[in-house]
Amino acid sequence: MTATPARIECTINGEPRALEGHPMSRLLDALRAAGLTGTKEGCGEGECGACAVLLDGTLVNSCLTPLAHASRAAITTIEGLAIREQLHAVQQSFLECGGAQCGICTPGMVLAAVDLLRRVPNPTEDDVRAGLAGNLCRCTGYMRIFAAVLDACRRMPATNAER
């Protein structure tokens, strides 16, 4: 694409940032070019969810999100969940329950779990299954992931759920 790149002002993980790129280019590429490589590309067509991020509190596949949509938005990527070395409750539960194996679906999966627990603070296993249906994992068979999300729900203080 030869069009002049735009400069998109937004907030990423609480910090004001500017992303560069064509307004219709993929948010995924702009995030990765800005050094946020925790956001992964698995399929490039919105099927696998590895590139999921929170955009103004909504879970989106960044491979299908035009960069223009990030303008003045607040974005949370996987890099923004832990506070220094203190893992988010969902991350800690994934670690302890075996929810991450190869790790490539993990950033999107963790963000989907965070999104789910905000919407449904006390989910049943069926809620968890439905909440993660847009995120594919080839390693775990999802069982340890379900266990991790339910475990996170138990350990999550109310304030954490709002983050």
Partner 1 sequence: MATGVGQPALRREGRAKLTGRALYVDDVAPAGLLHGTTIRSPAPRGTIRGIRFDPSIDWSEYTIVTAADIPGANVVKLITEDQPYLASGEVHHAEEPVALVAHPDPMRAAAARRHITIDIDPLPAVLSMDDADEVFKAYTVRKGDVDAAFADPTLVVVHGEYSTGAQEQLYIEPNGMIAVFDADTGVTVWGSMQCPYYIHGALAALLNVPDTRVRVVQMETGGGFGGKEEYPTVIAGHAALLAWKSGRPVKMIYGRAEDMAATTKRHPSRTRHRTAVTRDGRLVAMDIDFLIDGGAYCTLSPVVLSRGTIHAAGPYDCPNVRVQGRAVRTNVPPNGAFRGFGAPQSIFALERHMDRIAATLDIDPAELRRRNFVHTGDTLAVGQTIREPVDMDGLLSRALELSDYDAKRREFARANPSAAVRKGVGLATFMHGAGFTGSGEVHLSSVVAVEGTPEGSVRVLAASTEIGQGTNTIFSQIAAETLGVDIDDIEIAQPDTAVVPDSGPTVASRTCMVVGKLVESASAGVRRILVDSGYLPASYTRAQFRDACERYVARFGSLRSTSRYSPPPNVQWDDETYTGDAYGTYAWAAYVAEVSVDLRTWQAHVDDFVAVQEVGRVINPTLAQGQIEGGVAQAIGWALYEEVVWREGRMANAQMTNYIMPTSMDLPAIRVQFEEVPYPGGPGGAKGIGELPMDGAAPAIFNAVAHATGLDPRDLPLTPERIMALWNAR
| Contacts (CB under 8 A) with partner 1, residues 103-162 | 103-107, 110, 128-130, 132-133, 135-146
In the complex, the smallest distance separating the C-beta of residue 48 from partner 1, rounded to whole angstroms, is: 6
Phi, psi of 13 (to 5 degrees): 50, 40
Phi, psi at 11, each rounded to 5°: -115, 125
Among 91, 115, 150, 156, binds partner 1 (CB under 8 A): 91
Q: Give start and end residues of each alpha helix (H) in the chain.
A: 27-33, 89-97, 106-119, 125-131, 143-155, 158-161
Size of the site for partner 1 (CB under 8 A): 53
- CA contacts within 13 A on the Cβ side of 43: 16
User: Applying CB under 8 A, does 56 fall inside the site for partner 1?
Assistant: no
Taking the least distance from each CB to partner 1, the nearer of 57 and 103 is 103
Tell me if 36 sits within 8 A of 80, measured CB to CB: no
Residues that bind partner 1 (CB under 8 A): 1, 32, 36-45, 47-48, 50, 77-79, 81-82, 87, 91, 94-98, 100-107, 110, 128-130, 132-133, 135-146
